[in-house]
Amino acid sequence: MQIRITIIMLTTIILLAACVPARQLEERGVINTRGVDIAEDSSNQIETTIISYQFDAESEEITTTLSGTGHTIKGAREDASTEAGFILSPGQIRLELYGKEAAQKGILPYISSAVRDARVSDTMLLAVTNTSAKEILTEGQGELSLNTGQYLQYLIEKEIEEDSFPSTYLHDFTHIESDVGHDPVMPIIDLVENKPKISGIALFQDDKYVDEISLQEGYLVNLFQNTTTSTPLDISIPIKPFLKYIEKNQDINEDDELHLHVTIERGKSKTKMPNVQDMHFDTTINIDLFLLETSKLMSVDNEHVATLLEKEIEKAFTRQYETLFAKLQKAGTDPFGLGKIYRARQRDSNLTNEEWRKKFPDVTLNVNVNVKLTNYGTIQ
């Protein structure tokens, strides 16, 4: 009995072997990075630039760069594959770059194409480019030994690891984008001397790129939403209160700023809405930090200095939050996710994004920062 069943099974399997076409790894071009632009020839087509691995014994290069145009992102991929001797496969896309123009028009169509295809990974990174994605991917290659796509991917991953800005994996982006009262952000990649670099953080209104903030502010956005750990940060505070603690014989101007380099060991925030009608939010942020470097030699040898430093850093943070929030309100985008809190507090309402956009400029926010200097290194 058993033999018969086994034989029947094996023969049928072998007979039906042809049912799934085999595509071996080396026959595929595994796409690593994809850039999405809107074609310049005003046909409103999508232009993709693809960096894909090619496994060819003959050539030295592991990667190859291709581009194609089409009305859909998959169509553009097909177009690009006409110049490649292998099947372009989207299962390992690690980074997707959106050209500025494309991002301003809204990236949801591209994202939904990625989500619909079960083969595409949810852990791909998203970023916006300051010029066109094509330019970054082709011209950025110049000085790099690694391929641009991989280089950028390591770059962004490292920054996310350090909590420098909110993580921009596809699953985070789609989640935040489709949440009511929460807008996503993305890093902006720019070419500096033919080398790609993260130049700032892009603010999105839903899926549209509207404004840009600095990397430092990117951290503030992240700190507002998430608990951050081990983030290196530069802080500038007025030098005046510290004059007597600073080592003499350095030329100091009273209006100078004291620059500190710190590691934020742990930053945690909590946002409350004491009264729903007021449209007022209170945020408390607790920060533990290590002092690593000061721009002027100074000694932190008594508690007073430490408290003073903490106070000044707190002030600096509050100030930065105020300017940032004003900027956000002006841009009409809410990466802090205040609308989410509002929606959660609101009973019996089906808040929509449009409603929140109308209310957002009237929102007031009070940020209260508590800084704790925990460590000054080996010298006082």
Interface positions with another protein (CB under 8 A): 1-3, 5, 9-10, 12-14, 16-17, 19-26, 28, 30, 32, 53, 55-57, 62, 89, 91-92, 94, 118-119, 121-123, 150, 169, 171, 174-180, 337, 340-341, 343-348
The least CB distance from residue 346 to another protein, in Å, is 7
The least CB distance from residue 156 to another protein, in Å, is 14
Cβ closer to another protein: 170 or 331? Answer: 170
Cβ closer to another protein: 92 or 263? Answer: 92
Cβ closer to another protein: 177 or 288? Answer: 177
The least CB distance from residue 53 to another protein, in Å, is 6
The least CB distance from residue 195 to another protein, in Å, is 22
d(CA 178, CA 241): 46
User: Using CB atoms within 10 A of its CB, is residue 129 exposed (0-12), middle (13-18) or buried (19+)?
Assistant: buried
User: Taking the mean position of all CA atoms in its chain, how far away is CA 245?
Assistant: 39
Cβ closer to another protein: 12 or 370? Answer: 12
- Residue whose token pair is 């489709």: 178
d(CA 23, CA 273): 55
Q: What is the DSSP letter of 183?
A: -
Going by C-alpha positions, the residue among 168, 188, 78, 169 that lies closest to residue 121 is 169
The least CB distance from residue 222 to another protein, in Å, is 15
Cβ closer to another protein: 30 or 298? Answer: 30
How far are the Cα atoms of 129, 243, 247, 297 from residue 251, in angstroms, in the given order?
42, 11, 10, 11
The least CB distance from residue 83 to another protein, in Å, is 19
Cβ closer to another protein: 165 or 317? Answer: 165
* SS3 label, residue 346: coil
* SS3 label, residue 131: coil
What amino acid is encoded at 109 in this protein?
P
Cβ closer to another protein: 91 or 361? Answer: 91
Token output for 343 = 């929606």
The least CB distance from residue 219 to another protein, in Å, is 20
Going by C-alpha positions, the residue among 147, 31, 35, 150 that lies closest to residue 93 is 31
Cβ closer to another protein: 23 or 319? Answer: 23
Instruction: Write down the H helix ranges in 289-337.
Output: 303-331
CB 90 within 8 A of CB 119: yes
CB 317 within 8 A of CB 287: yes
